[in-house]
Amino acid sequence: MQRTTTQSQVGKAVRAHVYARFSSNLQSEASIEDQIRVCIGFIERQGWEMVRIHEDRAISGADIHRPGYQALLRDLDSGIVDVIVAESLDRLARDLGDMANLQKRVVYADARIVTVGEGEIGDLLVGVKGAMNALYRKDLADKVRRGQAGRVLAGKNAGGMAYGYHKVPKLEHGELVRGLRAINEAEAAIVRRIFREFIDGRSPIDIATRLNAEGIPSPSGGEWAVSTINGDRVRGNGILRNELYVGRVVHNKTRRVYDPETRRKRIRPNPPESWIVVEAPELRIVSDEQWAAVCARRQQYDGTRAEQQRRPRRLLSGLAFCGECGGAWTIRGPDRWGCSRHKQKGTCKNGRTITTSQFEARVLSGLEQNLLAPELGETKTGSGRHSWTAVGSSMRSETLWLPRRRNWRKSRRNELTWQYHQ
């Protein structure tokens, strides 16, 4: 953000630009005004001319893409800056490399940096203060993580409030206790609905569309999106991935790092041994059975896309089922298919087998004869020794799904079952 004041041309006045910043929303907005007031007073005592005020509110000094900071750099490159004034050097940057780069640009522009606390900044002070600021930032981050871990172990909330919960105000010894939460029944009902509909076979986009159509606000207060429901596999967020809904608080699953080239924030997973897991049964919203069902369905499409996954070795792998018991019809030996339950468990009496060539020929023949029928249903072919059962909305949907065997198998709408009767 940038504010411009009237510039008076008096001789060869030193053109001063003020920069002010604070890091967190937890800090007071007055921090910016206090920094500006101190810098303006310093400029007036020096007899310099204040040209512009650049400011960044609630942005870390590690982020070089701050709007106010970038505006200051543009003015510096334009040659309209003689001196940059800040309350202290760490307002400009906390990273040693960023501080050194700024100093190079300042020297190239025939300008200088002056702070109220340290005075004029030279190369030596840039190196010393830059190193100190970098160490301070790392130490502060370690302290924040340690404090958050302590709050989690004490049963309190260490971060933002998850959807389905609300803050619980409580006073102890006359002081407000922070981090307490309880179930928000109205939002919890939406969470249970999302789990229930996902288990019943609805897609995240379908669920989000229905919620938006009913005017139900999302966790952010706006519209629902697929990412709100699905979340991120690495971060473990989103409605369907948040373990808090089964009464389990998992902390420290990820860490934040900055790309050394772009300085953009990146999220990386932490190893499971560094996670902090605390059971919180009072915060449970869904049952273990619902959670397990969601996890089982989600595993069908988590990870790499279907076209990137390992292909089945045979045309009908995973698509055939025994007509007697419903067990998987699997390969037995080098070139024959049979009931897996008969072979592995002995719970099925169907001991018949069929060669791969015969099996594929019969299935493909059934597809050719019956899949193009206007209405799909049970169709008898040959002598009645095998039947074709297909459930689908139309020939078009079946035709589109057919080449994608793995997705086709997983779709409840387009389930194709080959039953081979003895």
What is the reported pLDDT for 135?
Answer: 80
Residue where a domain stops, chosen among 303, 335, 363:
303
Indicate whether 265 and 328 sit together in one domain.
no
Indicate whether 282 and 211 sit together in one domain.
yes
Whether 202 is covered by a domain: the verdict is yes
Residue where a domain stops, chosen among 253, 271, 303:
303
Whether 155 is covered by a domain: the verdict is no
Indicate whether 287 and 358 sit together in one domain.
no
| CA quadruple 96, 98, 99, 101: dihedral sign | positive
Indicate whether 111 and 187 sit together in one domain.
no
Indicate whether 223 and 130 sit together in one domain.
no
What is the reported pLDDT for 392?
Answer: 35
What is the reported pLDDT for 74?
Answer: 95
What distance in Å separates the CA atoms of residue 79 and residue 111, rounded to the nearest whole number? 9
How many domains would you assign to the chain? 3
Beta strand pairing call for 386-390 and 416-420? antiparallel
Is-contact 130 102, C-beta < 8 A? no
Indicate whether 273 and 335 sit together in one domain.
no
Residue where a domain stops, chosen among 76, 109, 134:
134
Indicate whether 32 and 114 sit together in one domain.
yes
What is the reported pLDDT for 337?
Answer: 85
CATH number at residue 293: 3.90.1750.20
Whether 150 is covered by a domain: the verdict is no
Whether 167 is covered by a domain: the verdict is no
Domain that holds residue 404: 320-420
Indicate whether 326 and 409 sit together in one domain.
yes
What is the reported pLDDT for 107?
Answer: 94
What is the reported pLDDT for 406?
Answer: 39
Whether 149 is covered by a domain: the verdict is no
Indicate whether 18 and 126 sit together in one domain.
yes
Whether 144 is covered by a domain: the verdict is no
What distance in Å separates the CA atoms of residue 343 and residue 208, rounded to the nearest whole number? 44
List per-residue pLDDT tens for the chain, 422 residues long.
555 444 444 457 899 999 999 887 555 666 889 999 999 999 999 999 999 999 999 888 878 889 999 999 999 999 999 999 999 988 998 888 888 899 999 999 999 999 998 899 988 888 887 778 778 777 877 887 888 888 888 888 887 789 999 998 887 777 877 888 999 999 999 999 999 999 999 988 899 999 999 999 999 898 898 889 988 877 778 899 999 999 999 888 888 887 777 767 788 888 888 888 999 999 999 999 999 999 998 887 665 444 444 556 777 777 788 888 888 878 877 788 888 777 655 667 888 888 888 888 888 887 777 766 655 544 444 443 344 333 333 333 333 333 333 343 444 333 333 443 43
In single-letter form, the type of residue at position 105 comes to R
What distance in Å separates the CA atoms of residue 357 and residue 362, rounded to the nearest whole number? 9
What is the reported pLDDT for 78?
Answer: 95
Indicate whether 117 and 198 sit together in one domain.
no
**How many angstroms separate the Cα of 186 from the Cα of each of 140, 193, 199, 235, 247?**
38, 11, 21, 26, 18
Q: Which of 50, 55, 59, 48 is nearest to 7 (CA)?
A: 50
Whether 40 is covered by a domain: the verdict is yes
Indicate whether 38 and 115 sit together in one domain.
yes
DSSP string, 341-392: HHHHT--------EEHHHHHHHHHHHHHHHTTSSS---EEETTTTEEEEE--
Indicate whether 355 and 297 sit together in one domain.
no
Beta strand pairing call for 49-56 and 2-4? antiparallel
CATH number at residue 61: 3.40.50.1390
pTM for this model (two decimals): 0.52
